[in-house]
Amino acid sequence: MRVLGLETSCDETGIALYDSELGLLSHRIYTQIAVHAEYGGVVPELASRDHVRKAMPLIREVMAEAGLTLADLDGVAFTRGPGLVGALLVGACLGRSLAWALGIPAVGVHHMEGHLLAPMLEENAPEFPFIALLVSGGHTQLVQVEGIGQYTLLGESLDDAAGEAFDKAAKMMGLPYPGGPELSRLADSGNAKRFRFPRPMTDRPGLDFSFSGLKTFTRTTILDCAEDGVLCDTDKADISAGFQDAVVETLAIKCRRAMKQTGIYRLIIAGGVGANRSLRARLQETAAELGGEVYYPRPELCTDNGAMIAYAGTQRLLAGECSDLAVTAVPRWPMTELKPLDTKHG
């Protein structure tokens, strides 16, 4: 089965073509960073307009690279939620319309299920069951996964997601948009031991997260270090290193707890923050100490992308799921509401 995947939940337009026999055939990702940079954050209306502008050209590129035409498609998968409602509707309208015109089925995919299943696109794909750490700009969750659609939420952030905390801490230091990746880059040259950031909610039982306290500590540290309101490069690097180390250690502590609590020592990392090298290294060490394994998608498939939507959609189409003709988007959508598939094989 050949499935076209459309991802338009926020500020990346991701288009991909997946074959259930041959794997990922081609994919493209267009980022809107330049569009939103002058505003310091995503402007929903501009995001929607840019998806409209870029989606069809990217579809043509993906099909051309695979040497196929739209007539060769067997299904279409689009992100139905969660995300920005206007951006979601662009993908939903396009995906549902294409499928109707071609006489093939379409299915709306949960954005976070796409991230969760992204490691399945790699040669060394994990087997079920596993623990998933989903860390993106809008979500930080620990999920026990028994099979596709068989999800138990173990813990989540009670305030900001890890990615949001990275971006907000970066903005406090005046780093360019998007701040999270720039903060991580600076952290590589900083002294993580100069400032002892707190490890929130690690001194109590449970698997929930909270990162708002790290923002407060960052603000206080900046005020203590800044001269005439300006931070020197060394201060920026050291604050970045301390901040990143606190987030990474907090996530590692919770992942260790989740694995020991469930007795499942197979861990996957997915979502934009999952591309962070420090996080990958720390979780690799944590899993190894417990005799476990860590899996993650290649960095380009950690960010929002069409490949993960095409893969997740293919599994649901193969199981007989199909969206009706109504064009719908679900800005808020708990992943635990998803229908379990009969099979446990991706």
Q: Is 135 within any annotated ligand binding site?
A: yes
Q: Is 124 within any annotated ligand binding site?
A: no
Q: Is 72 within any annotated ligand binding site?
A: no
Q: Is 345 within any annotated ligand binding site?
A: no
What single-letter amino acid sits at 194?
R
Q: Is 110 within any annotated ligand binding site?
A: no
Q: Is 74 within any annotated ligand binding site?
A: no
| Cα–Cα distance, 284 to 252 (Å, whole number) | 9
Q: Is 191 within any annotated ligand binding site?
A: no
Q: Is 27 within any annotated ligand binding site?
A: no
Q: Is 36 within any annotated ligand binding site?
A: no
**Tokens of residue 35, six digits:** 């569009």
| Cα–Cα distance, 310 to 267 (Å, whole number) | 22
Q: In 3D, which of 148, 78, 150 has the Cα closest to residue 107? A: 78
Q: Is 276 within any annotated ligand binding site?
A: yes
| Cα–Cα distance, 179 to 11 (Å, whole number) | 15
**Tokens of residue 225, six digits:** 């270090």
Torsion angle, alpha carbons of 224, 225, 226, 227, to 10: 100
Q: Is 94 within any annotated ligand binding site?
A: no
> CB-based contacts of 77: which residues, under 8 Å, 6+ apart?
3, 4, 5, 6, 95, 106, 107, 108, 109, 309, 310, 312, 313, 314, 316, 317
Yes or no: say if 264 and 131 are a contact pair by the CB < 8 Å rule.
yes
Binding positions: 111, 115, 134-138, 167, 180, 276, 304
Binding positions for Fe cation: 111, 115, 304
Binding positions for substrate: 134-138, 167, 180, 276
